[in-house]
Chain A
Amino acid sequence: MSRVLALALLAAVPFPGSVTAQAIPERPEDLRFAPSVFEPPPVSGLRFELGNGLPVYVVPDRGLPLVDVVVALPVGDRNEAAGEDGLASMTAAMTRRGGAGESGPDELDDEIDALGARIQASSSWGRTVLVLDSGAESLDRGLELLASILFEPRFDDARLEQAKENLRVSLLAEADDPRAVLEREWLRLVHGPASPRSRRLTQASIAAFDRDALARFHRRHWSSRGAVIAASGDVDAEALVARLDELFGGWKPRPPEADAKGLPQGLSAESAEQAAPAAVSPGWWTIDRPGTQAALAFGHRGALFDSWDDPDRWALMLLTEILDGPGTVSRLRSRLQLEEGLTYRVLTHFDLDVIAAAADSDRNRGMGEFRVFLETSPESTVAAASVVLEEVRRLLRDEVPENEIATARQSLLARLPLLFDRAEAIAGLYAEDELLGRPHEYWAVYRERLLAVTAAAIREAARRFLAPERSVLLVVGGRKAATRDRGLDALRDALGAPRPVSG
């Protein structure tokens, strides 16, 4: 229908204010929608406990004949002692790959594949997860295999040797990868060389991996203490919990020996101070590297809170969204991509960690980062970095206009349903609450709290938690700064002259 005709129809409607069913409005903003506020699904009825107290979240969904079961433990890189770099990940990977119980590695792979199931085990900074993804009819055997992998891994020597070969090959390749180099050096400058966040796999730490080291790490750290299970899909909740109880209900908590020794390596009582908005070695750093693209990262340590409901925390969520949310309307994307065409993608994240009274207490929390990462041409690094600096400074200087806050808020709230969009996501999110010590009510107040954040509160939080002058700017593969570069003076005033990273 032409616009003219649509307008003519509108004019012909006898009751002013009503719109014909067939009209196409001039602008999308003129469309009227039924109001809708997303309510997170209630958690009541989803939580169960096994005989040993292990919490289990079950969200049935009979839509497809599939089941997901995730066992998550609060164990990861942060539990490694000095010299054990990479041991947590290696242990997790080898539980799955090195055979379990009666089965050698090949038999285990054969059986899982023959079920059409998948079992994966992996570990990150603060957690280890084992995931079973199986057809409903194979679930029972799949769960037995999952339990076997969890409790009686064999850490087969030949497979371990093969995995070590591959790690050594990977380590060589990492030196070739500009992004890996940027990541490693940036973290070292931000947290300091002694921080656990700066630890990296080395040829020496790989050499130290043997069957005993893996078995020891597994014995010492893998326990039901702080662990949680999330299950979803084509299951009957009661029946599944009964079966899980048979398999996992006897899992013992580890004696809290690690905690008796006090805080683990690298974290001290000064964690709150560590989270102050600064980098250990602030300044403008460079690494020479030939190539068609340069990469840079700008920022400092992340924030640390006592409570998930800290008003500054909500304000910083909005601030990050305003600076560089995933929509194209954020400040960095608008300027770097839409206005100047300097980059295809900017990635910003701001870790807003909470020291909560969780089972895993404050072990190495507050080890996060505020970071803006982007790639651009070698000629444009100074211009791009100066835009980032300007935009961070602007957040400290000026209050954000209301319409921008409204867009950021809308964008954050719009993503909320995605967190709950499938049974697997719901079970996982509520289980994660328990793992992190995040109250389930967090989701109930989410909308209300974001609505309450004011422009003044955002600026206040920016001033408290952002420190552009105490940041690290690390540029890998940029051309040498030249006087004609836009923004050169501002960058130098804030961060000093560029210095090459040594070592």
Chain B
Amino acid sequence: MKLTGLAAFLLAALSSTATAASPSLEPTRFVLDNGMTFLVVERPGRPLVAAVWTVRGGSASDPPGHRGLAHVVEHLLYAGSRTIGTRDWEEEAPLLRRWERLYEQSVKRGAAASGLDGVEQRLAALQRPGAYAGVYTRAGALGIDAFTRHDATAFQTLVPREKIELWFWMESDRLLDPVFRGFRRELAVVEQERLQRIDSSPAGTWFDIFDAAYWGAGHPYAHSPGGDRLEVARLLPADARSHFEATYRPDRVVAVLVGDVSPARARELAKRYFGRLKRPGRREAAPAESAVAPTPALESLEGLCDCRSQVEIRYRTVPFAAAGDAVALDVLAGLLNSRSGRLYRDLVVGEDRVAFAASAEHVTRQLDGYFAVRIEAGEGVELPELTPAWDGLLERILAGSAVDSELDRVRRQLLTDSWRQLEQDAGVAHRLAAAEVLGGWRQLTEWLDAAAGVSASDLERVIDRYLVTADRAVLSLTRSGDAGR
């Protein structure tokens, strides 16, 4: 299942200023007695309902020594329940307990405990891998996928509208009663996923290393959701269960349905199915979440890589917010990007061009954020030329040339983009869920309103305050083939 950044979901906006002709896109919100929140956007006529639920908690809550745990649990939640994924639960249950004991011994000793393989074979005869997705696929559901991010984990399915009750059955079943089968195999798949992600982008490994150095050891964002290879390999089923119990509580879950389903029907089904989940007691502690993250370590790094020579310049900013400096920095990224933006004009196609490509991004998460500028070297350009080129561009912006017409352009693009993001039901569902988990879906519309109000002086202010040369970190990657030239 894919790992993605949260920012992409949050930089999206639902439009509160859509024309009168647009359907109402305001979701119907209700909360069950156990604390589980639902948002429903009814869209008559769509054959499939985009169904997403998101739980607050992702890789940032991985405990020390267990980096990658949240992602492993996301995978294990596809292994079924007492009903799904087994040929005979009564027979499987004691064997599974025995397997877990032997496996734990093996991991602790660093050698396979005797009998482990035998039990595993007997289990294989009882278990039905893929049964969970199979039920959905046979019913015509699609897009069965999940995403572990830093602050949240999301599970999605596209369900034929007449079979929406199946989604309620399946999702409440695995939240009520998950069985973590195929533990060892799933660790291997998670490792394959990590390698594929890193291999698919030669710079990927370096960005992981840069993240670790930038945030500093022990920071919740210092590791990617993929985690650490050795720590993942040492995880035990008991670790996965305790993560599940602490995190996957109904009061931390938001479910969103977008499609041809009425809020009344959704509410009735939600009560019947998800109402079975126990309300957490007052004394059941939620997983530790630092309200204030430690200050990033902010280290610069240089390396060689099978990639285009490039730099990433990072400035520490603020956590996600739908107001103030956070939004001004989002707008600044918009001003820099796109074909009429400053990065393309000055660095990619201008007379003094240095870049193959250049982009800016304001990454904001629950605990902290940063502003990143990434520049890939153009033909014949040496790495040391890139950062000064960016500094020059920033000076020109500060010298008073953030023109009102540029801001008009960005506002217009943000508005049209916010409509575009409403076209895909699954995208709408993910955005609503992510925003609701982090403090309320209305932040999406508030963000757009705030963005419309950002002025040139706001941009100057945030550049002055955050894009400070002395306080930045730079990742410099030189293409291996160019080294020593």
User: Chain A interface (Cβ within 8 Å of chain B)?
Assistant: 1-2, 22, 24-29, 31, 33-36, 38, 62-66, 105-106, 109-110, 112-117, 133-135, 158-159, 162, 165-166, 168-170, 172-173, 176-179, 234, 291-293, 326-329, 333-334, 337-345, 375-377, 406-407, 410-411, 413-415, 417-418, 420-422, 424
Q: Which of A38, A162, A172, A338 has the most CB of B within 10 A?
A: A338
Beyond A24-B272, A24-B273, A65-B22, whether A117 also contacts B422 by CB under 8 A is no
- A31–B196 touching, CB < 8 Å: no
Known: A33-B166, A292-B199, A375-B195. 17 other contacts (CB 8 A): A38-B47, A64-B419, A65-B419, A113-B409, A134-B416, A166-B379, A173-B479, A176-B481, A292-B195, A328-B133, A339-B129, A341-B184, A343-B189, A343-B192, A344-B192, A410-B137, A415-B142
Inter-chain contact A344/B189, CB cutoff 8 Å: yes
* Contact assessment for A66 and B416 in the assembled complex, using a CB-CB cutoff below 8 Å: yes
Cα-based distance from A135 to B405 in the complex (angstroms): 19
Interface size on B, residues (CB 8 A): 85
Report which of B185, B196, B199, B307 forms a contact with A340, defined as CB distance below 8 A: B185
Q: Is B356 an interface residue (CB 8 A)?
A: yes
Tell me whether A173 and B163 are in contact in the complex, defined as CB-CB below 8 angstroms, given that A65-B22, A338-B129 are known contacts. Answer: no
A105 contacts B349, C-beta separation under 8 Å: yes
Asked if B165 is an interface residue, CB under 8 A from chain A, the answer is: yes
B464 near A: Cβ within 8 Å? no
Q: Which of B232-240, B337-345, B391-399, B443-451 contacts A (4 or more CB under 8 A)?
A: B337-345
Contact for A33 among B162, B349, B405, CB less than 8 A? B162
Report the nearest B residue to A294, measured CB to CB: B199
Pair B356/A414 contact, Cβ less than 8 Å: no
Set A133, A179, A333, A410: member contacting B420, Cβ < 8 A: A133
In the bound assembly, the distance between CA atoms of A324 and B84 in angstroms comes to 22
Interface residues of B in 123-142 (CB under 8 A from A): 129-130, 133-142
Task: Give every chain B residue within 8 A of A28 (Cβ-Cβ).
Answer: 84, 135, 139, 166, 169-170, 173
- Which residues of the other chain, A, contact B413 by a CB distance below 8 angstroms? 113, 116
Neighbouring B residues of A27 by C-beta, 8 Å = 83
Identify the closest chain B residue to A136 (Cβ): B19
Q: Which residues of B contact A345 (CB under 8 A)?
A: 196
A310 to chain B, nearest CB (A): 26
Q: How far is the CB of A475 from chain B (nearest CB, A)?
A: 15
Given the known inter-chain contacts A411-B137, A418-B48, please indicate yes or no for A172 contacting B192, CB distance below 8 A.
no
Which residues of B in the span 412-461 have a Cβ within 8 Å of any Cβ on A? 412-413, 415-417, 419-420, 422-423
CB distance from B161 to the nearest CB of A (A): 8
How close is B82's CB to chain A, nearest CB, in angstroms? 10
Q: Taking the complex as formed, is B188 at the interface, i.e. its CB lies under 8 A from any CB of chain A?
A: yes
Is the CB–CB distance between B338 and A328 below 8 Å?
no
B408 interface residue, CB < 8 Å from A? yes
Pick the residue among A25, A113, A411 that contacts B338 (CB under 8 A): A113
Bound state CA distance, A137 and B350, in angstroms? 32
Across-interface contacts of B162 in A (CB, < 8 A) = 33-36
Which of chain B's residues have a CB closer than 8 A to the CB of A63? 22-23
**Shortest CB distance B20–A (Å):** 10
State A106–B23 Cα separation when bound (angstroms).
Answer: 37
> How close is B49's CB to chain A, nearest CB, in angstroms?
11
Q: Does B470 contact A (CB under 8 A)?
A: no
Contact A421 B47, beta carbon cutoff 8 Å: yes
Neighbouring B residues of A65 by C-beta, 8 Å: 18-19, 21-22, 419
> Within 8 Å of chain A (Cβ to Cβ): is B263?
no
Encoded as 1 (CB less than 8 Å from any A CB) or 0, chain B from 162 to 199 comes to 11011001100100000000101111110011011011
Q: How many whole Å from A65's CB to the nearest CB in chain B? A: 5
A28-B84, A36-B160, A113-B339 known; A176 and B306 CB under 8 Å? Answer: yes
Measured between C-beta atoms, what is the minimum distance from A290 to chain B in Å? 10
Which residue on chain A has the smallest CB distance to residue B134? Answer: A329
* B166, A293: Cβ atoms closer than 8 Å: no
**B223 located at the interface, meaning its Cβ lies under 8 Å from any Cβ of chain A in the complex:** no
| 25 chain-A/chain-B pairs, Cβ below 8 angstroms | A1-B272, A24-B272, A109-B344, A114-B408, A116-B409, A117-B416, A135-B415, A159-B349, A165-B379, A166-B379, A168-B379, A169-B379, A292-B198, A292-B199, A293-B192, A327-B133, A327-B134, A327-B137, A334-B129, A339-B185, A340-B185, A344-B192, A375-B199, A417-B47, A422-B423
Question: Is A414 touching B133 in the complex (CB atoms < 8 A)?
Answer: no
The residue from B142, B160, B199, B353 contacting A293, defined by CB atoms under 8 A apart? B199
**8 Å CB contact of A64 from B135, B341, B348, B423:** B423
Q: In the assembled complex, which residues on chain A have CB atoms less than 8 Å from the CB atom of B481? A: 172, 176
Does B308 have its Cβ within 8 Å of any Cβ on chain A?
A: yes
Cα–Cα distance between A420 and B45 once the two chains are bound (Å): 11
Partner of B195, one of A22, A293, A411: A293
Cβ–Cβ contact B338 & A176, under 8 A: no
Complex CA–CA separation, A272 to B349 (angstroms): 46
Residue B5 lies at the interface, judged by CB distance under 8 Å to chain A: no
- Are the CB atoms of A114 and B409 closer together than 8 Å? yes
- Known contacts A28-B135, A65-B19, A66-B419; decide if A177 and B202 are in contact (CB<8 Å): yes
- Of the listed residues A158, A166, A410, the one surrounded by the most CB atoms of chain B closer than 10 A to its CB is A166
Q: Does B246 contact A (CB under 8 A)?
A: no
Select from chain A the residue with minimum beta-carbon distance to B349. Answer: A162
B378 at interface, CB cutoff 8 A: yes
Minimal beta-carbon separation of A32 from chain B (angstroms): 9
Task: List the B side residues contacting A169 at CB < 8 Å.
Answer: 308, 356, 377-379
Q: Is B87 an interface residue (CB 8 A)?
A: no
Specify the chain A residue showing the minimal Cβ separation from B129: A338
Contacts of B182 in A (CB 8 A): 338
A33 to B413, CA, bound (A): 43
Among A26, A62, A328, the residue within 8 A (CB) of B144 is A328
> If A28-B169, A64-B422, A338-B130 touch, does A165 touch B378 (CB 8 Å cutoff)?
yes
- Cβ contact within 8 Å between A328 and B130: yes
Question: Which residue of chain B has its CB nearest to the CB of A137?
Answer: B19
- B276 at the binding interface (Cβ < 8 Å): yes
Task: Verify if B46 is at the interface (C-beta below 8 Å from A).
Answer: yes
Q: In whole angstroms, what is the CA distance A407 to B405 when docked?
A: 56
Closest to B188 in A: A341
Closest 9 CB pairs of A and B: A414-B140, A327-B137, A341-B188, A417-B47, A116-B416, A338-B129, A328-B133, A116-B412, A341-B185
Least Cβ–Cβ distance between B103 and chain A, in angstroms: 15
* Cα–Cα, bound, A414→B161 (Å): 12
Q: Which of B275, B341, B349, B408 has the largest number of chain A CB atoms within 10 A? A: B349
| Residues of chain B contacted by A31 (CB below 8 angstroms) | 163, 165-166, 169
Q: How far is the CA of A63 from the CA of B425 in the complex (A)?
A: 13
Check if A291 sits within 8 Å of B199, measured CB to CB: yes
